[in-house]
Amino acid sequence: MAHCRPCIDAGTRKDDALKTGSELDRRLIVQLADAITDSHSLEQFVRPLLGLLESATGLESTCMTAIDESAGLQHVLYARNSSSLQIPEGLVVPWGDTLCKRALEDAANARLLDLSYRDALTGLANRRRLLDTLERTPAGSLAALVFFDVDHFKELNDRHGHPAGDEVLRRIVEAMASRAPAGALLARYGGEEFACLLPGIDTATAADVAERMRAAVAAMTVQIPDGPQDARVSISAGVASRHLHAPEDRQRLLRDADIALYQAKDAGRNCVRISAG
């Protein structure tokens, strides 16, 4: 069965259609409201919308199509043509190589890529995104890496339950993100471990960033649902920095930051330690 998807096709923009500002916004809202209230059929609803799309985007041609995926065909139901580019109503084209299909596929692929790079719980970049970004860092660049671990997180989970632990992780992320400088990539590395990649940053500056994040987390409290009192948490951090001349340097950076993190935990937790590497 064919089903309808909105599709915009276009040639060049018209100069007089490139309008911005609140006056145009108000006019479009009024026109949209009129189209909704005055329409008694699909056609009466769609044609004003095509005009709105033209006004908002400056496209010479806009259209609505019905896509029959089983037959591999796209049918132009309604079209608005205001310049040299003409899309005829009733036109039937193969669906496999249309601009609309490519746009939908590109949007779907971009969404899938974003999901594959994002941690579902916290919304941060995930380990894969961090490692891919580190791998693509230009040779010779200076980069710092900070590993963070939530102190005594297992005990908190055991005492208050996993929903409370999830809320703690989200609040920690909020506190850390509020202290992250521009250009930093903050990621959930796994479990209760986080990482922050800092391009072009030396060790001392990275340690200062890590300390600000540590202090922000230590200063906050987390309300535990149905808990007798709010929870306080802390994080430990390990800092490393080096110039990335060769692939081995990236592995050394990961190793050095990890060693420094363990040094912070051995030193009593809730502190920052710098790699000697």
Q: What is the pLDDT of residues 190-210, one digit of tens each?
A: 999 999 999 999 999 999 999
Q: Is the pLDDT of residue 2 over 60?
A: no
Residue 236 backbone phi and psi in degrees, to 5:
-110, 150
Can you read off the two tokens belonging to residue 71?
A: 């037959």
Question: CATH number for the 125-274 domain, one of 3.30.70.270, 3.30.540.10, 3.30.70.2190, 3.40.50.300?
Answer: 3.30.70.270
93: which strand partners? 74
Q: Which of 3, 7, 48 is nearest to 30 (CA)?
A: 48
Distance CA 168, CA 187 (A): 16
Is 155 designated active site?
A: no
Catalytic residue among 23, 69, 135, 192: 192
* pLDDT for residue 22: 61
Please determine, for residue 1, whether its predicted confidence score (pLDDT) is greater than 50: no
Cα–Cα distance, 142 to 198 (Å, whole number): 9
Where in the chain do CATH 3.30.70.270 domains reside? 125-274
Residue 173: pLDDT over 50: yes
Residue 107 has pLDDT above 80, yes or no: no
226: Cα separation from own chain's centroid: 32
CA gap 148, 150 in Å, rounded: 7
Angle between helices 42-57 and 22-38 (to 10 degrees): 170
pLDDT at 84: 80
pTM above 0.75, yes or no: no
| Per-residue pLDDT at 72 exceeds 60 | yes
Q: Alpha-carbon distance 269 to 159, whole Å?
A: 20
**Residues 25-67: pLDDT tens digits?**
666 677 677 767 777 788 888 888 888 888 777 888 888 888 8
Q: How far is CA 75 from the centre of its chain?
A: 34
Helix (H) or strand (E) segment spanning residue 73: strand 73-81
Cα(199)–Cα(220) distance, rounded to whole angstroms? 28
**How far is the C-alpha of 79 from the C-alpha of 175, rounded, in Å?**
51
Task: Tell me the pLDDT tens digit for each residue of 175-195.
Answer: 999 999 999 999 999 999 999
Is residue 3's pLDDT more than 50?
A: no
pLDDT of residue 135: 94
Best-predicted range by mean pLDDT (2-6, 75-79, 162-166, 213-217)? 213-217
Mean pLDDT of 87-98: 82
Q: Report d(CA 200, CA 143) in Å as an integer.
A: 5
pLDDT of 151: 97
Percent of the chain with pLDDT over 70: 83
Q: Using the predicted structure, report yes or no on whether residue 11 has a pLDDT greater than 60.
A: no
